[in-house]
């Protein structure tokens, strides 16, 4: 079985012989922004399923276009899970070789699990399928956005050679 390769371009100003020191503020600001995106993906997915496709995701059809309070819980769990993923990413950036590759695999496998989970619940097939799609799209958004945030945090966590020259360091 061929395993897909993940290629990460390491910025020129990152020395792989030294530990990576990511910018925590950039990482967490990006993580919070990604959590908002994850929550909005859930809300948009529920809206599309219920309002446009008439698929009763998370609540009976009578609950309206956005469902009921379970929609807010679902969106909140997506946001909270994204913040947990941000914490995992920070730990990996600090202590693991090839941290973005490990992050990609861990969150990809978690996404597969949450995408399969609706099929274990007693619900109509259309609801199961659409919930799985929402979970999959949310996971893909989190993986792609936080991977970019990590690259940005790594780049901003180290002074570039230009900064060193400007400061008189050789």
- For the entire predicted model, the pTM comes to 0.76
| 22 within 8 A of 92, measured Cβ to Cβ | no
- Asked if residue 103 has pLDDT above 50, the reply is yes
Q: What is the mean pLDDT of residues 133-140?
A: 97
pLDDT for the residue 146 = 96
Total Cβ atoms within 10 A of residue 20: 20
Query: Residue 170 gets which letter from DSSP?
Result: -
| 100 within 8 A of 63, measured Cβ to Cβ | no
Paired tokens of 16: 């792989």
Q: pLDDT of 24-79, one tens digit each?
A: 999 999 999 999 999 999 999 998 998 899 888 866 555 555 555 688 889 999 99
pLDDT for the residue 23 = 87
For the chain, give the mean pLDDT: 82
Measured distance CA(28)–CA(96) in Å, rounded: 19
């Amino acid at each position: 079985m061929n395993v897909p390769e993940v290629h990460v371009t390491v910025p020129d100003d990152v020395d792989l012989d030294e530990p990576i020191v990511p910018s925590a503020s950039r990482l967490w600001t990006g993580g919070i922004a990604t959590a908002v995106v994850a929550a909005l993906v859930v809300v948009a997915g529920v809206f599309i399923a219920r309002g446009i496709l008439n698929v009763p995701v998370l609540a009976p059809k009578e609950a309206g276009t956005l469902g009921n309070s379970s929609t807010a819980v679902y969106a909140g769990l997506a946001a909270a899970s994204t913040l947990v993923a941000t914490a995992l990413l920070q730990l990996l950036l600090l202590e693991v070789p090839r941290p973005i590759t490990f992050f990609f695999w861990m969150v990809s496998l978690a996404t597969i699990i949450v995408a399969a989970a609706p099929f274990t619940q007693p619900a109509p097939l259309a609801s199961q399928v659409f919930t799985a799609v929402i979970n999959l799209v949310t996971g893909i958004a989190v993986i792609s956005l936080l991977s970019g945030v990590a690259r940005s945090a790594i780049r901003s966590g180290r002074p570039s050679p230009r900064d060193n020259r400007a400061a008189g360091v050789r």
